[in-house]
Amino acid sequence: MRNPRHLLALVFFAAAAVSAAERPNVLFIAVDDLRPELGTYGAGYIKSPHIDRLAATGVRFDRAYVQYPICGPSRASMLTGLRPGTLKIEHIDTFFRDTVPEVVTLPQLFKQHGYYTSYVGKVFHGKQTDDANSWTRKRVATDGAAGASYQLPASQAIVKQRRDDALAKYGSVQVGLASGPAWEGADRPDNAYVDGQTADVAVAALRELKGGPFFLGVGFIRPHLPFVAPKKYFDLYDPATLPLSAAPEPPKGAPSIARHSSFELRTRTGVPTAGPVDAATSRQLIHAYAACVSFIDAQVGRILAELDALGLSDNTIVVLWGDHGWHLGDHGIWGKATNYEIGTRIPLIIRAPGMAGNTRAAPAIVESIDLYPTLAALASLPAPAALEGQNLVPILQNPTIAGKNFAFSEFPAPALREWAAKPLSAAMRETFFGPLIADAEAELAREHGPRYDRKTFEDHVKGYSIRTDRYRCTLWVDRRAPDDEPLAVELYDHETDPRETRNIAAQPEQVIVVAKLTKQLRRDLIIRP
């Protein structure tokens, strides 16, 4: 007869194994610079069948917003569930561990509760990978040759020449000084480019981790500049048929501090160094952006197909998230880094097994910081008390419910600081942006008179934005005195002006609306010194 203690141990370990098998896996897909320019979001010209299929089997959030419209702070905010002000993050390269060292990140929470956490590609930003705390193992590296972005010899020669020039002139190659063409479509296989390799590694990781439970982060770089993808994805589109922006001019009555001169784009070759981008070049840029979206869609399709093949789909939560929006000529801007709807609204799709809302769209306003408490709840993990987001599981069960009343975002002085959200280096000013900055400063001086001072506007002025069901209101304030009269105010009525083409903040009939939203921003978002 078997030992009763042995039988008890067998029962215990069997129960533990069943419990582990039932714990849902998480596949978190982050896509850089992806606005909701997808078939499922109504962009009929975009070929994105795999992401569209994911949306058709999950919940698509139609009004999802980031808290900071550039890569680093946006990702840090989402992965900690905290607003940028709480994290004390202003620049793209500020590491959240330097400002809030004890914070528990989203993957760290899963790791603490027995999940194997791993990632490939860009999940956190740059070197802020947080390997020791968040991940069971470090990222599996892709081929360095693919990481160089460009595959064509002509493109590589441009980068080399610019690098040599920067070294000769400044003794170092600072960020942005050695950029190449704005786009490239080499006749190469998918994994000649880094995002194709990311998909290769992600597929291999799923096979390795299939025993679960796992949290796998997969981060794609495109459609970030440069817009590089295999030629076959460019061939999906006829650039002559692609739509240009329906709102190509700056909003009427908008302050100049709210927009920028497309600094990031201007560092690339093949585009004007200043002034408007002509229609022909605009179509080429939109063509290249669309090609990159289709390229990433194909990689997402490969990963989801592997999830199906391994029999993991029924027990895996899948999230697809864009880290911020991107202007494709909207408001005369090419790039990210604005508080406008185009800059802050993102695609967000959640497919969680067993949710009654799957296959439907949710019109509720949601924020990136809501993902942390949502995934914790779906996995039955105890969420940290300090989280500032909202659990979206009720919406996943019933996408018609209202959700929260507003979304917040913030960004400092795009007119002067778009590049990485920090003051531009002297080398960047001299090499690329001198005339652009001079024009911006002249306009700011005209608008603000003696109140304008470069150091103040560069170092201390910030835009705080609130998006409600009907309105977007943005206050531009000196953070040293946030309760003083704002330097500028923007108000857009999405009921009558969904593209934000007219700033109506100064209209007498909007006094009550502006006062109400100003009060809420000052109470709930603006951090006082």
Task: Report the length, in residues, of the chain.
Answer: 529
DSSP state of 192: G
The structure's pTM equals 0.94
Mean pLDDT for the stretch of residues 461-478: 98
Mean pLDDT for the stretch of residues 227-256: 98
pLDDT of residue 129: 87
Classify the phi-psi angles of 105: left when phi > 0, otherwise alpha if psi is within -120 to 50, otherwise beta.
beta
Active site residue 125: yes
Q: Tell me the pLDDT band of 6, cut-offs 50, 70 and 90.
A: very low
Q: Which of 50-54, 113-117, 145-149, 237-241 has the lowest mean pLDDT?
A: 145-149
| Tokens describing residue 104 | 């528990």
Q: Are 342 and 330 in contact (CB under 8 A)?
A: yes
| Tokens describing residue 260 | 């920028």
| Burial category of 195 from C-beta neighbours within 10 Å (exposed 0-12, middle 13-18, buried 19 and up) | buried
> Residue 493's beta-bridge partner residues?
471
Task: Determine the Cα–Cα distance for residues 515 and 521; give it in Å rounded to an integer.
Answer: 10
**What residues contact 11, with CB distance under 8 A and at least 6 apart?**
none
Task: Domains for the chain: give ranges and CATH numbers.
Answer: 4-411 (3.40.720.10)
Burial 427-444 (b: 16+ CB within 10 A, else e): bbbebbbeebbeebbebb
pLDDT at 218 over 80: yes
Classify the phi-psi angles of 249: left when phi > 0, otherwise alpha if psi is within -120 to 50, otherwise beta.
beta
List the alpha helices (DSSP H) in 189-269: 194-209, 231-234, 263-266
pLDDT of residue 171: 84
pLDDT of residue 529: 64
pLDDT of residue 145: 52
Distances (CA, A) of 391 to 141, 257, 376, 380, 400: 33, 35, 9, 12, 15
3-state helix, strand, coil in the chain (%, to 5): 45, 15, 40
Q: Are 427 and 398 in contact (CB under 8 A)?
A: no
Q: 479: number of CA atoms within 13 Å, CB side?
A: 22
pLDDT at 174 over 90: no
Mean pLDDT for the stretch of residues 153-171: 92
Task: Determine the Cα–Cα distance for residues 19 and 22; give it in Å rounded to an integer.
Answer: 5
Angle at 523 between CA 520 and CA 524, to 5 degrees: 80
Q: What is the dihedral of CA 428, 430, 434, 437, to 10 degrees?
A: 40
> Residue 219's beta-bridge partner residues?
30, 121
Active site residue 327: no
**What residues contact 376, with CB distance under 8 A and at least 6 apart?**
106, 109, 382, 383
Task: Determine the Cα–Cα distance for residues 127 and 119; give it in Å rounded to an integer.
Answer: 14
- Collapsing DSSP to helix, strand or coil, 347 comes out as strand
- Counting residues of the chain whose pLDDT is more than 90, the rounded percentage is 82
- Counting residues of the chain whose pLDDT is more than 70, the rounded percentage is 94
pLDDT at 354 over 90: yes
pLDDT at 17 over 80: no
Q: Tell me what the pLDDT averaged over the chain comes to.
A: 92
pLDDT of residue 486: 96
| Tokens describing residue 66 | 């980031």
Q: What is the dihedral of CA 400, 401, 404, 406, to 10 degrees?
A: 40
DSSP state of 357: T
pLDDT of residue 381: 98
Distances (CA, A) of 259 to 183, 191, 338, 432: 23, 36, 6, 18
pLDDT at 102 over 50: yes
Task: Determine the Cα–Cα distance for residues 363 and 341; give it in Å rounded to an integer.
Answer: 15
pLDDT of residue 146: 54
Could you say which of 125, 260, 287, 327 is catalytic? 125
Could you say which of 6, 50, 71, 494 is catalytic? 71
pLDDT of residue 147: 54
pLDDT tens profile 370-429: 999 999 999 999 999 999 999 999 999 999 999 899 999 999 999 998 777 777 788 888
Within a 10 A sphere around the Cβ of 251, how many other Cβ atoms? 21
pLDDT of residue 15: 32
